[in-house]
Chain A
Amino acid sequence: MMNYIWIAMLLLGIAFAGVTGQMAAFSDQILSNAGEAVEFVIGLAGIMGVWSGIMNIARKTGLIDAAARLAAPVMRFLFPGLTDKETVSAILMSFMANVFGAGNSATVFSLQAMTLLDRQNGGRETASNAMCMFLAVNMSMVQLVPITVLAIRSETGSANPESIIIPSILAGLFSMAVSIALCKYYERRDRKKWRRS
């Protein structure tokens, strides 16, 4: 899938660069963005290191088990069959970091969760139900306080920058409900399909 999306992005870019005569800008941007990607990951590496370190403490001391037990009811609904405590806690931390707007930390936990989910999926090439659900929830998760948006609003002279917080949360919750419902629908449909075949 990613294969096609990526190829489409590049070919589309090349075709348009040719038509609009933006070849120079196109080449420049591609290379400079590759450089930015490296800088981004270097920035991320430090944060990943710190969080992995902290989570390792939590894991070895048994704190993670306690947290996983606490969240079990919700997790059982979203991820039936997911019992690995480490995965559950990575998912939990990713959700929490998302909600509290710890942007890059959220990415780190999500990647950790995906790695663990992949291991449970036996490294298969088809995504598991849990992976799809994790992404569905993750992508529709709202930040409690969208700091950057608030900053841009007050910078552009808003009389009440915070007035969008509650509407954002409502819109996010709606989007999350739709995503979870759709994900559950697909899960059920696939289960039927597999049973028949």
Chain B
Amino acid sequence: MAQILNTISLFFIPAVLSIVIGYGLYRRAPIYDYFIEGVKEGLQSAVEILPFIIAIFVGIAAVVSSGAMEFLQDLAAPLFQAFGVPKELTSLIILRPVSGSGSMGVLEHVLSTYGPDSFVGRCASVMTGSCETVFYVFAVYFGVTSVKRMRHCLPVGLVGYLAGILASVFICRYI
């Protein structure tokens, strides 16, 4: 099963490429010219998102390097424990919405401390595998728009994230 899924994932980019180029050939389109034209637009938007990426990277650095993150973790631990979430996972839960690479570091730490096949280790893996970097997505995605009021996006994102965490713990415990 894992093997099949892995193979599908590996073929994603080559498959898209072949289909697009194949269809272009069939239509006798000037493929190369279209490509160059698109690349120009892509580079343009890369320049446009840079300020937003810098802003969120700086914000994350401020919270993590000052020790504020650790404080929040201690604060949140009892709350998560009340829902049956092991307290060893608190730092992962708090860091995951903010930083993808940071949470991978924490995952590594959790797995090498408690063992990857222990209950805590499995929970941590499933959580990291099933949840997104919510805040990062907000900052960067809305960064390219003129939106200032995000309406229900934040509650939906957070509730969805918490639902993912609780589901991870539940599934690891009973399945």
Contact = CB atoms under 8 A, between A and B. Distances in A.
Q: Which 6 A-B pairs have the closest CB atoms?
A: A56-B38, A13-B62, A52-B42, A175-B164, A179-B160, A168-B129
Contacts of B55: 6
B54 A38 contact: yes
In terms of DSSP, what is the predominant structure of the interface of chain A? helix
Interface residues of B, number: 100
A124 B20 contact: no
A194 to B, nearest CB: 12
A115 B34 contact: no
A171 B165 CA distance: 8
B68 A13 contact: yes
A183 B53 contact: no
Interface of B: 1-2, 5-6, 8-9, 12-13, 16-17, 19-21, 23-24, 27, 29, 31, 34-39, 41-43, 45-47, 49-50, 53-68, 71, 104, 107-108, 111-112, 115-117, 121-122, 125-132, 134-135, 137-157, 159-161, 163-164, 167-168, 171-172, 175
A63 B38 contact: no
B62 A26 contact: yes
Interface of A: 1-3, 5-6, 9-10, 12-17, 19-20, 22, 25-26, 28-30, 32-34, 36-38, 40-41, 44-45, 48-58, 60-63, 96-97, 100-102, 105, 107-108, 110-112, 114-115, 117-118, 121, 123-127, 131-132, 135-136, 138-149, 152-153, 155-172, 174-176, 178-179, 182-183, 186, 190
Contacts of B126: 164, 167-168, 171
Given A58-B23, A164-B122, A168-B126, A52 B156 contact: no
